[in-house]
Amino acid sequence: MKVSFTEHAGCFSLVLCADTMIEAAALTRFGMNGLVEPTYCEAAVNESGMFEASVVWQKHKRSSSTIPHRGRRR
């Protein structure tokens, strides 16, 4: 998965781009089941000098792994 992080004047942007169908399915489930507000956000540097950031979103209580069909049935 490709990750792009950008700082804008009034916000930060984190963009995830799937490389595989498994990652695409995970991003789709994230879009369907993830809550709007992150529950945890942190940035830190560890002892080796590596900078890392973590953002966590909880799932809706009634989350699903099934992607609903939203198109027109034939």
In-domain check, residue 68: no
Number of domains in the chain: 1
In-domain check, residue 8: yes
In-domain check, residue 71: no
Q: Please write the tens of the pLDDT for every residue from 14-72.
A: 999 999 999 999 999 898 888 888 899 999 999 999 999 999 988 888 777 776 666 66
In-domain check, residue 62: no
The yes-or-no verdict on residue 74 having pLDDT over 60 is no
In-domain check, residue 31: yes
- Residue 22 has phi, psi (to 5 degrees) of -65, -45
pLDDT tier at 12, thresholds 50, 70, 90? very high
Range of the domain at 34: 2-56
Cβ contact 63:57 at 8 Å: no
In-domain check, residue 74: no
Please give the full DSSP string across 22-38, using - where no structure is assigned: HHHHHHHHHHHHB-SS-
- Residue 14 has phi, psi (to 5 degrees) of -120, 115
In-domain check, residue 13: yes
> What's the rounded Cα separation, in Å, for the pair 18 and 26?
9
